[in-house]
Structure 1
Amino acid sequence: MTESPMSIPVYEGSMLSLRSTTPSLARSRPMTGLAKRKSEPEPKWKRGDLESKYRCVACSNYLRFPLQFEDCGHHICSGCLPDIMRVSPRCPSCQQPIARDKVVNDKGLQRDIQSLDVYCYYKDKGCDWQGTLKDYMGHVDTCGFVQVDCTNACGVRFERRFAPKHQTEDCPKRTVVCEFCKGNIIFEEEIPHLNTCPEFKVPCPNGCSSQEWPRGQIQNHLDTMCPKQELSCPFGECGCEYRGQRTEITKHMQESPGLHLNLAGRTITIQKKLLQAYEERTNEQKKWIELLSVRVNALDKTYGAQYIWKIDHYQERLEEARTGKKTTLFSPPFLTSRHGYRLALSICLGGDGKAKGKYVSLFICVCRGEYDALLSWPFSHRVTFTLLDQCEDVDNRRPIIYSVKPNICKENKPFLGRPVTERNASFGAQKFTDLDTMGTLEYVKDDTVFIKVEIDNEDMIII
């Protein structure tokens, strides 16, 4: 069984608003059971002073959930016992040592105490409640004479019965509605809010009339309507230094057409010279762009493909593949960029696996490189193989192209993961092109074959 803690008043009397002087740290620090019981106000007993048998020997308040020391027979509140056992396990009355197994609940005494007739502690202030002690704590939770803190945390304490008035009329932290923008604001921030509220009505700073405008619209009034707003002459950018009120600007324009015409003509001349200089500058930049374009094209031709593999002595190598003497050729390793992936090509001129004797098989593998720690894994970039046609007529060339997009999955980690040995297993085109096609056109010329490989770098990390 638990009971709600009683609110502890800081001030006597029935003042409407009193600011608490208790430091915030002290208010927030929880009290121990014994200290809390000592600070709680007792109800007023109908039969005068409370008999000593109903009082706790530790806190001297009435017993709440009484416990009895079997050895000496004294009683103590259950909430006071932990402090007594922690500080000095002795009876506060007779100083006899206390054993934990010699402390028992006295339920009979509890019933007797709870049935005592009492008045409210605040009877002298006007509270007319009376009843038994067991109902007293429930009354305290609603008693209008108990002092409470403002729920808005404004730091004020007052009797509960004054709470509605405080919350609606006196609390500096109560919420109010701005009469101009209809927004909710804190009462103590009302003045700062009104100083910035866009709907607050303000007069024209030029005093052009008695009318007022919402603060958010006053700038538009000054820019478009106010007759007293000081403006520059429309020909100010041409050199006219005149400034005056809006009504005077019209008069100035009517009285000075010759001046403005001369200024406009001079400005046109200056602008024409500037435009001519701009065109010259633009033409110069076009020349630089063309020069850079030529350089970029040259670089594209030089470094357009990541790698071109030249395979010479083709017929000899093809025969070695057919006889099984050397079935696979490997290219030197190459980089996708200066600090990119390190790759290598391999080719089976007589075919690999099920393609043996029918197709040329072409593969690529990821090799261990110096910059692997900086790259993204697994390798996921599209690879394009091209068997180049060496026809002298460029327009009649018919290259054979085969593209492979790596499938990133757990099973393909040996092919695409970061290499832990010198190189990963190869992947690519087992049926790149059939052997008969190799003998057509000019894929083989001067007993030499050229194979180009390109790596898609669209999503590649460039270091």
Structure 2
Amino acid sequence: MSTSQENLNPTDLKSQSYDGFEISFVEQPPKELPLKCSICLELLTDPCILDCDCGSNFCKVCIEKVKKNGYPCPLCQQQFTTILPNKQLQRTLNGLMIHCPHRADGCSWMDELSKLKQHLNRMPSNETRLEGCGFTDVLCQYCKKFIPRQYIPTHETETCPKKPYICQYCGHSSVPVDNHWLVCPQFPVPCPYECGERPQRQGLEHHMEEICLQAPVLCEFRYAGCEVELPRQNMANHLRDSIVDHMTLMSLKHREEVSSLKEENQLVKQECADLREENNALKRCFSEHEIQLLKIESEQKAKALKESVTDVKTKSDCQFDFENQMESLERKVDDLTSEKTATSCVQPSPFRVPIELVVTGVKQLKQQEEAKWKSLSFYSRGGYKMVLGVCQCNRYGLDFSIGTYLSVYIFIIQGEYDQQLKWPFLGTVTITLVDQRRPEKDITKTLDYTRENYEEGAQRFNNTLTNGLGLEKFIEWKYLNPNYLKDNCLVFRIDDIEYMYNW
């Protein structure tokens, strides 16, 4: 027993193994103070005692491995059940004064054992990686190699082969292997004409074309025939010394141009004469007899259209549709008789796309306090009867910023299939303002009939235009440019009506 105790207390040693380091004490520890763990043979870490008879101290990690494997006490070979931390011994060990393990390398740190880990700082955070012993190896954040802490600042800013490269010209950040200087737009490059200037790479072309004195340039009178090419700095002397030559070349060039223009003028005159002959020939083709026939045919078409108006007035059962159809036919009669623009609507039955509403007289009507247009009624594929309305106020019949916006509405009216349909109408209606010169610039917007706007999609029991769903600010007057407002007309189109059966 005395032999084992003597091995556990080597008072003749001033250094001990601790966490992979050989540490040395400032003063010799007391002889009776146990220092080593008899299992790992290193300085005790978190010392613990057992409930056996030997009373020896072990490292907590070491003795827990022994207990886990079911072995007895390594010294007295007695079974134990309890491991108790020796806090008094731990405090004593923590208070021992030691030198830094890197003392031989030059570290002069000396303090209590409990502060060794803080001093070494072997697993630092980004904020504390430069704090602690300068001889402790720290991972370089660029090349991922371990370098003594005291050399880390110099290594990462100067010697590390993988440290970021900051271009001094443009501020671009990269690694040196990227050869950024070969593509840097602000890197100074020598002029190819050896003028001595070093413009930025991005301005090299401008320098050669506009500034470089050594760049070869052509004479300004090249169009007249001067083929001289000199460095830019010598061109002024050439222009001054060759005034007579340049004037001679310009005179010859002018004569050639005058001669060419005369020839072109003769060709134009001949073409005009040919066109006049063709025009006279066309006029002769339309004799007075043919003109009379065209007039008779036009009168017959007008008479037929007037008869159609009479038939519509006597046979129509729906007053609302009757008025719109009569208005459309009368306007067609006016087109043939007085050649005036009128509002026209297409009412296909059954529904087909597109449905069009041509709004005429926009420039005059937009100045009035209330301007409205409405299409003929039409049916959706599902059988819902609708009317397209256009006005210049917020609600149909209510003023809102008159002269500022054009509003578009869809009104559901009473139809012959209403008893077989599901109400409210739930779906979408696509409305397009046609660009009459560029179809790809059409303005298309969609109205959504949902359960939230129940009133707008509810069943109607008359043909009054109420509770319409629309776009109050479809387009501002100021955006009705000639592409949309052609010949004082706007064209609106119903492109599609989709009924949501599964809503």
| TM-score of the aligned structures, taking structure 2 as reference length | 0.42
| TM-score of the aligned structures, taking structure 1 as reference length | 0.45
Whose relative contact order is higher, 1 or 2, with alpha carbons under 8 Å and at least 6 apart?
1
